[in-house]
């Protein structure tokens, strides 16, 4: 009893460093680029940022992807795996109890050494044995507690991994949708120009037949038309690739979404003057940053697990047995036996292996700390870069829109002048070619603006909320799981 009382008294000792969330001094108080000056300090739109596009089909595709995507399914599986290992680690807190029941029938030969003795007690004879054994490692120096702490942080890291997968998925669905609509717009421009150039071809051919213009004008018109038509197969191929990519994101067979995505296109116009959070808030929102911090916490706990091997481990083991020749006699008096074995094991000399393991865990922790700081800095840089790209591309889109409108006027004017014989045919062809090029550039720039808007929301960690339940549990079980995982409060610091 004195032995047990001493162990219980020592059980509050936990070796190894206690984890503290690192502070990153390089995080600024505000965004550095002038592109962020007119952006409000709020993140209210980040939960479902794609709704700013005002496209119900995109909203539907996003919901379907979140439910069906296979990368998301893999991430949920990793959470369940981490929870299982956390449960395994927690089981070491308690005594391990096992039971067995065996039956033996033995017969000794008359001429064997035990033959004469066996005849006295009956030969052959039966032996029934029931055993109940228990062993308990008393966690004096916190090896089990540190292991539990490490696996709990791994559960939280797996949840952040799921959130990171979800953020990437939402961005990929939105970018793919923008690419589809952009390619469709480019195809519309190409086909419109083909029809216009076919009309021009008919006009110049008729004029050449009447001897009003040289054959050179006809060949130039044919070349211009063929060049524009040649752009369509490339765009058609790109569109098919984008449609199939969307199908895979929704875990559908290629081609299964073509019908709904080939419906008449809506020229959505989202407001790019979105609101974003301050740099410090980014550390709370970015799942990759949160995951990196939880991995660091898990690795820090493993230093304590390794350190515990420097100290003795204490255990209690007990065995109870019942033996009888007949099964019905197992419970009778005189057939009962037991033993209680307190134990101590101490690795007195290992040739430096234990201290080497501690150094290895410390080195891994240093690596993860550097990786965490790098993740934070990369996240900040990504936001700054996307802010600049979004603003500058929006300026470019506006200028290209002006250029398109001016080119449309130029084509109309040159057409009139050509019909009236006030200008040559080459000027007319040049105006048509420039119009198509500028329309195509405008469509591409417009799509890039929206892609940059998606990338900005992705870099801000949008698409989820701190209040969202764990993905692998019903809502009512989420709080219990969070408490079971360990230091949940540290995650939200």
Query: Tens digit of pLDDT for each residue in 275-322?
Result: 556 666 777 788 999 999 999 999 999 999 999 999 999 999 989 888
Give the pLDDT confidence score for residue 210 in this predicted structure. 86
If asked whether residues 107 and 17 sit together in one domain, one would say: no
Return d(Cα 315, Cα 140) in angstroms, integer.
10
Say if 1 falls within a structural domain. no
If asked whether residues 188 and 331 sit together in one domain, one would say: no
If asked whether residues 189 and 285 sit together in one domain, one would say: yes
Say if 6 falls within a structural domain. no
Say if 147 falls within a structural domain. yes
If asked whether residues 388 and 473 sit together in one domain, one would say: yes
Average of per-residue pLDDT across 236-262: 95
Q: What is the CATH number of the domain that holds 378?
A: 1.20.1600.10
Average of per-residue pLDDT across 65-91: 94
If asked whether residues 273 and 126 sit together in one domain, one would say: no
Q: Is the pLDDT of residue 369 over 90?
A: yes
Residue of 159, 151, 156, 158 lying closest to 301 (CA atoms): 151
Q: What is the CATH number of the domain that holds 114?
A: 2.20.200.10
Give the pLDDT confidence score for residue 418 in this predicted structure. 84
Return d(Cα 439, Cα 468) in angstroms, integer.
43
Say if 264 falls within a structural domain. yes
Residue-wise pLDDT tens digits, 202-224 = 989 998 898 888 999 999 999 99
If asked whether residues 320 and 442 sit together in one domain, one would say: no
Across 355-364, 376-385, 483-492, least confident range: 483-492
* Domains in the chain, number: 2
Residue-wise pLDDT tens digits, 395-450 = 999 999 999 999 999 999 998 888 888 888 899 999 999 999 999 999 999 999 99
69 phi and psi, to 5 degrees?
-55, 135
Say if 27 falls within a structural domain. yes
Check if the beta carbon of residue 228 is closer than 8 Å to that of residue 193: yes
If asked whether residues 110 and 239 sit together in one domain, one would say: no
Check if the beta carbon of residue 405 is closer than 8 Å to that of residue 388: no
What token pair was written down for 462? Answer: 């949008």
CA 206 to chain centre: 62
Say if 181 falls within a structural domain. yes
If asked whether residues 201 and 104 sit together in one domain, one would say: no
Check if the beta carbon of residue 477 is closer than 8 Å to that of residue 79: no
If asked whether residues 379 and 466 sit together in one domain, one would say: yes
Side-chain-side CA neighbours of 455 within 13 Å: the count stands at: 19
Return d(Cα 40, Cα 18) in angstroms, integer.
38
Its domain, for residue 399, covers 13-93+143-311+352-491
Say if 191 falls within a structural domain. yes
Domain's final residue, options 289, 322, 345: 345
This prediction's pTM: 0.84
If asked whether residues 42 and 184 sit together in one domain, one would say: yes
- CA dihedral sign, ordered 358, 22, 290, 85: positive
If asked whether residues 111 and 132 sit together in one domain, one would say: yes
Contacts of 355 (CB under 8 A, 6+ apart): 310
Q: Is the pLDDT of residue 234 over 60?
A: yes
If asked whether residues 277 and 220 sit together in one domain, one would say: yes
Say if 391 falls within a structural domain. yes
Give the pLDDT confidence score for residue 264 in this predicted structure. 66
């Amino acid at each position: 009893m004195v032995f047990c009382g001493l162990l219980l008294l020592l059980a509050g000792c936990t070796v190894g460093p206690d984890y503290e969330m690192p502070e990153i001094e390089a995080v600024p108080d505000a965004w550095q680029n002038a592109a962020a000056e007119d952006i409000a300090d709020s993140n209210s739109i980040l939960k479902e940022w794609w709704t700013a596009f005002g496209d119900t089909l995109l909203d539907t595709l996003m919901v379907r992807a979140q439910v069906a995507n296979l990368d998301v399914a893999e991430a949920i599986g990793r959470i369940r795996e981490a929870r299982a290992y956390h449960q395994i680690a927690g089981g070491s807190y308690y005594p391990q109890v096992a039971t067995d029941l065996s039956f033996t029938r033995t017969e000794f030969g008359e001429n064997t050494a035990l033959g004469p003795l066996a005849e006295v007690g009956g030969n052959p004879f039966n032996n029934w044995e029931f055993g109940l054994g228990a062993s308990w490692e008393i966690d004096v120096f916190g090896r089990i507690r540190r292991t539990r702490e490490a696996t709990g942080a791994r559960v939280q890291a797996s949840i952040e991994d799921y959130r990171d997968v979800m953020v990437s998925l939402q961005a990929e669905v939105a970018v793919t949708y923008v690419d589809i609509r952009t390619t469709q717009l480019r195809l519309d421009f190409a086909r419109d120009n083909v029809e216009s150039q076919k009309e021009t071809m008919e006009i110049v051919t008729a004029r050449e037949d009447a001897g009003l213009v040289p054959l050179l004008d006809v060949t130039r018109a044919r070349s211009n038309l063929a060049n524009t038509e040649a752009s369509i197969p490339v765009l058609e191929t790109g569109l098919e690739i984008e449609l199939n990519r969307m199908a895979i994101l929704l875990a559908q067979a290629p081609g299964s979404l073509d019908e709904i995505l080939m419906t008449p296109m809506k020229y959505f116009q989202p407001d790019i003057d979105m609101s974003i959070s301050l740099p410090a808030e980014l550390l709370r929102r970015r799942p990759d940053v949160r995951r990196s911090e939880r991995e660091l916490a898990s690795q820090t706990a493993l230093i304590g697990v390794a350190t515990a091997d420097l100290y003795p481990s204490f255990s209690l083991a007990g065995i109870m047995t019942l033996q009888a020749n007949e099964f019905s006699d197992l419970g009778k008096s005189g057939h009962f036996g037991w033993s209680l074995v307190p134990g101590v094991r101490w690795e007195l000399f290992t040739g430096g292996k234990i201290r080497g393991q501690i150094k290895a865990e410390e080195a891994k922790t240093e690596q993860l700390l550097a990786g965490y700081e790098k993740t934070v800095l990369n996240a900040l840089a990504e936001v700054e870069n996307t802010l600049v790209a979004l603003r500058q591309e929006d300026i470019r889109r506006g200028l290209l829109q002006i250029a398109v409108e001016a080119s449309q006027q130029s084509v109309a004017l040159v057409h009139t002048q050509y019909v009236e014989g006030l200008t040559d045919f080459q000027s007319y062809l040049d105006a048509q070619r420039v119009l198509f090029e500028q329309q195509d550039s405008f469509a591409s720039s417009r799509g890039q603006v929206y892609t940059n808007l998606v990338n900005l929301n992705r870099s801000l960690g949008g698409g989820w909320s701190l209040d969202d339940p764990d993905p692998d549990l019903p809502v009512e079980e989420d709080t219990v799981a969070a408490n079971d995982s360990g230091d949940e409060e540290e995650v939200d610091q």
